[in-house]
Structure 1
Amino acid sequence: MAEDAPARPARKQGALVGLLLASVFAVATCGLIYELLAGTIASYLLGDSVTQFSTIIGTYLFAMGVGSWCSRYVKRDELRLFIRVEILVALLGGWSAAALFLLFPLVEQFRIILYLLVFVIGFLVGLEIPLLMRILRDRFDFSETVSNVLTFDYVGALAASLLFPMLLVPHLGLIRTGLMFGLINVGVALALLMLIPARAKLARECILALLVAVSLIAGFVLANRIQRWSEIAAYGERVIYAASSPYQRLVLTRHDDDIRLYLNGNLQFSSRDEYRYHEALVHPAMGRVARPANVLILGGGDGLAAREVFRHPDVRHVTLVDLDPAMTRLFSRTALLRSLNRGSLVDPRMHVVNADAFRWVRESRQLFDVIIVDFPDPVDFSVGKLYTESFYRMLRPHLTPGGMAVIQSTSPLVAPAAFWTVAQTLEAAGFHTRPYHVYVPSFGEWGFILAGNSDPGASVTLLPGNRFLSADAARQAMIFPPDMARRPVPVNRLDNQALVRSFAEEWARYEG
């Protein structure tokens, strides 16, 4: 027994060293997760994901640098300070996603809160690694300390970057992901407290760590309610469905008889007036083709454009390409939504393909009489590539002789430069175009562009029974007043993405 006594402190010391090295991995993983959460939420709520991720990453890295620089002023009690930092990072980082969602509809200067939170978390994370290196310096020589710390740091960053998009967001959601990694941070603090011989002197830290852990566990259990509260506050309507897919956040709201779909916080349709949008999108193109039998819809996963297509008696086959299977499943299996699209997604003539449209168009060899392009607005470069000259050049060979394409092209009133950039880009790709616009109450003035291998012409044959689009309305739609008139704009190419920039600038001015 006497021989075992000296071995116990040595074993405990070895366990402490092992835990400190594991802490490096945990710190790196958690730190990058908080950064990814902030960037993702900012892009969801504010749009333009490239700008949001760029500014979030820049702010976070700058804050880490400030934290690392300030660590030089720590002269003693490095382990105590490291534990306190872990507790604080657990609290702020763990609750960051929930806080941002809850504050967005309530705080006018949301960006100030966002960047302040990112800076504080980055500052604290910047303190962690230098503190750990100092704590480990007496247990390894300098080169080994640096090697160990950087190895675990980089491996942790890799783990976070892979887990976040592939596992965490699809299965846990953003709020639960933040809370879970907050628990990892506070778990590191609690484990260290258990191994420190003088933990009796750290009673305050023990209590704080336990309180933070309890709050994070409670938040994890109530995460769905927190998400619902934030969405009710943001939309001002009853949320009847909300889910996150690997690609987007889908929210359905209901107020009386009005059903609304939001993707990443952006309104996609209101059931009260979506017929105006979808009649204007579909029938001017379909009515310019003699017998449109084979139709391609790019986007339009809600099935509402397909509903209008199937009203044409000559249609024999429709291919719908939408990236997100969660979207097409929702609108093909939910009775309320199937009543809106009249079961278009389960029609025997429908073939749904869940794929990236850019890749699908490049690889497919099929021909279509009508192509309906109903992508979301070009809020970021990943969507902007679907509005480029390269994409339109790939699209042209898919039209049959005499075929017609139509592209939804944002508001020519709010974003005239963006609207005319789409027209200019289609023409650069070899299409002949006919722009037009209609008024949709939920969106305001909205624009579309007909595109064919020959001039689409002004005349159109419309189906009877439209609620909105008459022959007179179709003629009027092609008249653009001076505030929406054509202007000089660049071609949108993959290497310049001019459309994304002009779209963001014009809508930012409009929304203030």
Structure 2
Amino acid sequence: MDKIKFEYLLLFSVFIIATCGLVYELVAGALASYLLGDSVKQFSFIIGVYLFSMGIGSYFSKFFNKNLLNVFVEVEILVGLIGGLSSVILFLIFNIASFFQFTLYLLVFLTGCLVGLEIPILMNILKGRIGFKDLVSNVFTFDYIGALIASILFPLILVPKLGLMKTSLFFGMINVSIAIFLAFHLKRELKNVIILQIKAVSSFVILLVAFIFSEKILSFSEEKMYGETIVYTHSTSYQRIVLTHNHNEYRLYLNNNLQFSSADEYRYHEALVHPAMSLASNVENVLILGGGDGLAVREVLKYRDVKNITLVDLDEGMTKLFKNNSLLTKLNLNSLWNEKVKIINSDAYIWIKNCDKKFDVVIVDFPDPSNYSLGKLYSVGFYKALYNKITPEAIVAIQTTSPYFAPRSFWCIAETIKQVFPKVEAYHVYVPSFGEWGFTLSAKSSKTDFHKIQRKISNLRFYTYNFYDFTLFTKDMLAKDIEVNRLDNQVLVRYFDEEWGKIQ
């Protein structure tokens, strides 16, 4: 075939290899962080294993000296199959915990080895056709461009539109499509071309069938994972949202972590919201950070004195779900549609620094500090920024994980808040779905009396306004020698990982 077409066809293959290879790596990292938590650690390990395995693949490429074009097409098929099916395999075996991490890193290793094998083989194929200087620059140019495109498409388009499973299968089909094209277009230069064509087409069919049935595969694996009937699933740029139903109870999971159960969420949200709302001198302007489910908003709206509620939640997919899903609007009583509520989808840390308004009450309902992106929201720096955005007599309530299951984490947050706020009081309640759960109340003024009720409402199911009853801790919920959580150490994430890791 024409020399120029041959060269550019193979260079285009480099672009596809780089794009697909990085997508498989990102899928593995995202899936591991969804299922195992601690996204920084998971991505760090996976990137390390992937790059190491690429080096192994590159090393072994020197042992391939014959039929290099055949080898290249074979490897392209294998990359597509292994990388494409990786998310399917991982979702299906997640419940077999002892094999999950081994399988995860094995798949990453195999994919990395094959990608690392492809580039040197391709360069050996082209070395007699292109000058060495041009060959190296062209190959790596296409390689890096492919990596850039994959890294941009993955969070902005692929995960929100396709989800992790369909994304890996889709790029697996792209990988194998290149192999099919080469197997038919370069058939005069290939050996055993019929067998190669059958392998390529068969692999594409396998991936296509898996893609078509991916929703059923995902539903099956998630129902096994949660042990409940799944009524809604959605992947956003930030998290996997799963809503399950069991008897008369709905449960919401974010990245495999239970966020609430409809059977007892009122205990959690009443304990989070009403101490601050009942003790604050003024409740006209309320800020809720996190809480995209609208359940904390529902509780705040029970006070007639409230004039404005600003809800800041990172994930627009979350707030849209709880505005429009009829099952969930029944739980939050359509609170997110209330005219007093303004929803802002933004990173709370950045937003609070740039905010030019001051608030009378702040309800902080962030997820637990399971990774560094969440840990920053429990740091001294964040609380200093928050301190500057509240009125002199304001009160802040913060969810602070379990003092029973994670006492070091719980008291780490309390100690961190004390670095900024002069008045701090930790408290806890029992929530059946979670066990003992903790919160911290803080005030800008050291003279604030946390036992002086300013206002009450009568339609609560759990909270009795006897705040003192919730401030007593048994010996097994205490911890000593706790460090403060700062942006440059993120010790809270380490505490959290150690304590909750023992339970899981």
Which interval holds the TM-score relative to the shorter structure? Answer: over 0.9
Secondary structure of residue in 2 paired with 1:276:
helix
Structure 1 moving runs of 4+ over 6 Å: none
Once the two structures are superposed, the pairs formed by residues 130-141 of structure 1 within 5 Å of their partners are 130-141=120-131
Residue in structure 1 matched with residue 320 of structure 2 by the alignment:
329
Give the deviation of 1:488 after TM superposition: 2.0
1:66 matched to 2:56? The reply is: yes
Contact 1:390 1:429 in 2 (8 A): no
Give the match for residue 241 of structure 2. Answer: 250
2:463 to 461, 464, 469: 469
Aligned counterpart, 1:211: 202
Give runs of aligned pairs for residues 9-20 of structure 1, distance below 5 A.
Answer: 9=1, 11=2, 13-20=3-10
| 3-state SS in 1 of match to 2:188 | coil
Match of 1:123 among 107, 113, 125: 113
- 2:503 and 2:254 mapped to 1: Cα distance? 20
Selected match of 1:489 from 477, 482, 486: 482
Q: How does 1:317-396 map to 2 (within 5 A)?
A: 317-396=308-387
| Alignment of 1:307 onto 2:298 | yes
Range with greater deviation from structure 2 (338-347 or 46-55):
338-347
AA partner of residue 46 (structure 2): I
Q: Residue 471 of structure 2 aligns with which residue?
A: 478
Matched, 1:292 2:283: yes
Of 163, 166, 170, 1:176 maps to 166
The equivalent of 2:136 in structure 1 is: 146
User: What is the alpha-carbon distance in structure 2 between the residues aligned to residue 156 and residue 334 of structure 1?
Assistant: 38
Aligned to 2:18: 28
Label 1:406 to 1:440 Cα distance change in 2 as closer, same or farther (>3 A): same
Whole-angstrom CA distance in 1 between matches of 2:14 and 2:339: 56
Q: Counterpart of 1:176 in 2: which secondary structure?
A: helix
Q: Structure 1 length as normaliser, TM-score?
A: 0.95
Q: Secondary structure at the match of 2:281?
A: coil
- The amino acid that maps onto 1:509 is K
- 3-state SS, counterpart of residue 414 of structure 1: coil
Structure 2 counterpart of 1:437: 428
For 2:45, what is the secondary structure of its paired residue?
A: helix
What is the rounded CA distance, in whole Å, between the counterparts of 2:175 and 2:484 in structure 1? 49
Whether contact under 8 Å (1:284, 1:460) holds in the other structure is: no
Displacement of 1:107: 4.3
Aligned residues: 500
Tell me the distance in 1 between the aligned counterparts of 2:181 and 2:324: 47
Q: Given residue 12 of structure 2, which amino acid in structure 1 is its aligned partner?
A: A
**Greater mean alpha carbon deviation, residues 193-202 or residues 409-418:** 193-202
2-structure distance, mates of 1:439, 1:508:
21
The one-letter code matched in structure 1 to 2:478 is A
1:121-168: CA deviation from partner (whole Å, max 9, x where unpaired): 111111111110111111112222212211111111111111111221
| CA shift in 2, pair 1:480/1:107, >3 Å | closer
Distance 1:196 1:322 in 2: 55
How many Å apart are 1:431 and its aligned residue? 3.7
- Structure 1 Cα separation of the partners of residues 80 and 224 of structure 2: 26
The CA deviation string for residues 458-480 of structure 1, in whole angstroms up to 9 with x for no partner, is 415343232122245x3221011
Deviations 1:409-438 (A, max 9, x none): 011111111111111111112342000011
2:201 maps to a residue whose letter is L
Does the 8 Å CA contact 2:313/2:348 hold for their aligned counterparts? Answer: yes
Match of 2:418 in 1: 427
CA distance in 1, matches of 2:271, 2:473: 16
Deviation at 1:383, TM superposition (A): 1.1
The residue identity in structure 2 corresponding to 1:49 is S
Secondary structure of 2:433's match?
A: coil
- The answer on whether the counterparts of 1:371 and 1:405 sit within 8 Å (CA) in structure 2 is yes
Q: Which runs of 5+ in 2 are unaligned?
A: none
Q: CA RMSD in A?
A: 1.5
CA distance in 1, matches of 2:54, 2:249: 47
Q: Which amino acid aligns with 1:354?
A: N
Q: Distance in 2 between matches of 1:112 and 1:484?
A: 35
What secondary structure does 1:436 align onto? Answer: strand
**Which of 214, 220, 244 matches 1:223?**
214
- Matching residue's letter, 1:68: S
Task: Choose from 273, 279, 282 the match for 1:282.
Answer: 273
What is the CA distance between 1:205 and its match in structure 2? 1.6
Is contact 1:16–1:192 with CA below 8 Å preserved after alignment?
Answer: no
2: CA distance, partners of 1:180 / 1:425:
45
Structure 1: tracts of 5 or more residues without a match: 1-8
C-alpha contact (below 8 Å) 1:94/1:181 kept by paired residues: yes
Output the CA distance in 1 between the equivalents of 2:189 and 2:14.
22
Q: Which of 437, 451, 465 pairs up with 1:459?
A: 451
